[in-house]
A and B are shown apart, each in its own frame.
Chain A
Amino acid sequence: MPNMSRTKVPIPEQEPKVRARNFGEVTLGYTQEMALEEASRCLNCKNMPCVSGCPVGVQIPVFIKKITENDFEGAYEVIHATSSLPAVCGRVCPQERQCESKCVRGIKGEPVGIGRLERFAADTHMKHTEAPPQKPVSNGHKVAVVGAGPSGLTCAGDLARLGYEVTVFEALHKAGGVLMYGIPEFRLPKDIVQKEVENLKTLGVSIMTNMVIGKVLSIDELIADGFEAVFVGSGAGLPRFMGIEGESLIGCCSANEYLTRINLMKGYKEGYDTPVLRSKAVAVVGGGNVAMDAARSALRMGADHVYIVYRRSMDEMPARREEVCHAMEEGVEFLNLNNPVKLLGDENGRVRAAVIQKMKLGEPDASGRRSPVPIEGSEYELAVDTVIMAIGTSPNPLIRTTTEGLDADKRGCLVVDETMQTTKEGVYAGGDAVTGAATVILAMGAGKAAAASIDKYIREK
């Protein structure tokens, strides 16, 4: 008889007041007892609706069953068979919109805590398993992967398991992409990311950092060097600004810059050289996960007031629910239906305030969300010394502008067919470089699909 509790077993977390001032992980993870109790809520549905909500098709009821049987390593193996980065997904996937949204238990009460159980299995594996994965026998075929983010690492891992000799070229000095520079330590510890990267290396994946493809080597040169296929997972790098007056004042920056200084460059840590803005009052513009990450980081860097300034309402907010709740608990103040129209500077050219206009919701727009309409005459000044723009990014043009025959759409996203192949033979792409800014798990799904297509392409060549 399954556990009929209508709510998930609560997961231990750091106290909001305490965690808002440190970079330690917010969510502490299930103990074995908690995991067993939560796992027993799974009804083990025959047609597995939850799996249809997973972009990489993790066999969810199968791994949960293994947990109930105390076979934690077995549970990990089930997840790992389809997901290269289980410890990462358990932490950053928007489960409420994917697997958990399909869970039958969600009809009456809360769905099974699939993300929490996935994290438990992955963390248990990391804690207890010494033996690194075995390097498969090489099939002699070389594949290049551009970008060591979620899509690139997934593609590399899947191909390496099939025996391909994979080289990943990463522009930054550390592999991990957004997992390293974007998502903060308190949400995804960087040690975990580096462990996943190390696992790939033991599978035989070679990772070359400090290599900006398109600059130091072109895609055509990679092919000429003997790589039989190339996967481009270069991400959506370029930050957008609003184009309003005052954005060049000191104290206004992109979320990418703010987060990179803190996460990748460890600007929050004693002993690291990278400077970070020291702020008293911060406005973060945007309502996505990146906005939540920037706002919560600003609190941890010592700001007294941190505001989320979002032009739509809470219902349209694209951020993961858990992040919004965590941000609120920690003291981030939400100014929804608000939009900056101008930034004001002091006599030293530093931001002193944002002029904000109130908004109301109008008709649904192209995204299906009700579009914000300005309320004339509602402008007011919000006293802030820092404004962080988290309003999205566009794909990095470095690859498409240096590779002939690679088509992109109007937004600059690479065009791919259903096999993830670009308009250039043997060159595949996935992740944000194709979709524009999206989620870690969708990028992983794309990397996975591309790996299968690349394998087929090389075998049939």
Chain B
Amino acid sequence: MFRIIEKKILNPNVTQMVFDAPYIARKARAGQFVIFRVDEEGERVPLTIADADPQNGTITLIFQIVGKSTMKLNALNTGDSIADLVGPLGQATEIPEGAKNICVIGGGVGCAIAYPQAKSLHKAGYSVDVISGFRSRDIVILEDEFRAVCDELILCTDDGSYGVKGFVTNALDERIQNGHKYDCVIAIGPVPMMKFVCEVTKKYQIKTIVSLNPIMVDGTGMCGGCRVTVGGKTRYACVEGPDFDGHEVDFDELMHRNGTYREREAECRMMAQADKA
């Protein structure tokens, strides 16, 4: 059992939890993920690690409440425990050699993963700009945290209710055109966002790393559910990823495959809501 040490509501749909997980905390590096299972009947769900504290033996997870499993997790409180937590899985993010100026882009709850990236890069002495994007003001997360670990934060909202109006892709394109030089872009967020960021960076030939979120069961290479096409080759995101060269990823296929269980997911959500009602 893995105990919840702390729970914090970041916005109505996004929750942060700190778990007692000393083995994982000792090894976790930015870009790696865990798989959690709330209880005996629960699914195995992958989540990228948002932070790790090896001294205190804890890891932080930030998740959006999207389906039954995240609803079940969100229903727990400090002091409660979940059945299983396994990790760290996947490869840590690798920054290309010689890169100095890095732009980290986070979209929505993807900021939860973009944040530890910015933090570790900042600590390692890179020059880091962050572009974070949200639908509107009420769901903005991690603003102060980002400011503390970057040279410049450009916060965008789709509707202009906070920060700069527009998508992260517009902000990125504008900055590059205004003369900002980036050696590497790290984009983490919804698949369409990562796809469009890559279209921008491809124009300027800037190496772009994306963190993929395919469907997974075991997370150790056993099920093949997480296979993605990268550079025309089949790769297993759980063992070879989750980071890949964004210019090589077949995003349309990933989006499509992520819809495999959409009907069943919708049913589950409905049932879970009916339980609450």
A: residues with CB less than 8 A from B are: 171-173, 181, 209-212, 215-217, 237-239, 241, 243, 247-248, 250, 253-254, 256-257, 260-261, 265-266, 271-275, 277-278, 349, 396-398
Contacts and interface: CB of A to CB of B under 8 A. Distances in A.
B265 A396 contact: no
Q: Is the interface of A mostly helix, strand, loop or mixed?
A: loop
B268 A250 contact: no
Contact of B87 (A215, A241, A273, A397): A215
Interface centre among A210, A256, A277 (most CB of B within 10 A): A210
Contact of A398 (B68, B85, B220): B220
B221 A398 contact: yes
29 contacts: A171-B220, A172-B86, A173-B83, A173-B86, A210-B84, A210-B86, A211-B23, A212-B87, A212-B219, A212-B220, A216-B27, A217-B23, A239-B223, A241-B227, A248-B234, A250-B259, A256-B224, A257-B217, A260-B218, A265-B217, A273-B42, A273-B69, A273-B268, A274-B217, A275-B261, A275-B264, A277-B260, A397-B239, A398-B221
B64 to A, nearest CB: 17
Contact of B224 (A257, A261, A275, A277): A257
Closest 10 CB pairs of A and B: A257-B223, A210-B86, A254-B224, A275-B264, A275-B261, A237-B222, A173-B84, A239-B224, A273-B43, A257-B225
Nearest to B265: A275
A265 B225 CA distance: 14
A108 B222 CA distance: 44
Contacts of B24: 216
A172 B44 CA distance: 10
A238 B220 CA distance: 9
A104 to B, nearest CB: 42
B3 interface: no
Given A173-B37, A250-B259, A250-B260, A210 B85 contact: yes
B256 interface: yes
Contact of A216 (B83, B87, B223): B87
Interface in B236-275: 236, 239, 253, 256-257, 259-261, 264-265, 268
B89 interface: yes
Contacts of A272: 41
B229 interface: yes
Contacts of A172: 86, 218
B108 interface: no
Contacts of A257: 217, 223-225
A173 B221 CA distance: 15
Contacts of A216: 23-24, 27, 86-88
Contact of A265 (B43, B221, B224): B43
B37 to A, nearest CB: 6
Given A250-B260, A275-B265, A171 B224 contact: no
Nearest to A278: B264
B217 A261 contact: yes
B223 to A, nearest CB: 4
Contacts of B229: 248
A275 B86 CA distance: 20
Contacts of A250: 256-257, 259-260
Contact of A254 (B87, B220, B223): B223
A417 B37 CA distance: 39
A171 B265 contact: no
Interface string B146-186: 00000000000000000000000000000000000000000
Given A215-B89, A248-B253, A241 B222 contact: no
Nearest to B220: A171
Contacts of A171: 86, 218, 220
Contact of A273 (B41, B221, B234, B253): B41
A243 B239 CA distance: 19
A277 B254 CA distance: 18
Nearest to A173: B84
B191 to A, nearest CB: 15
Contacts of B257: 248, 250
B241 to A, nearest CB: 14
A291 to B, nearest CB: 15
Contact of A256 (B86, B222, B234, B265): B222
B260 to A, nearest CB: 5
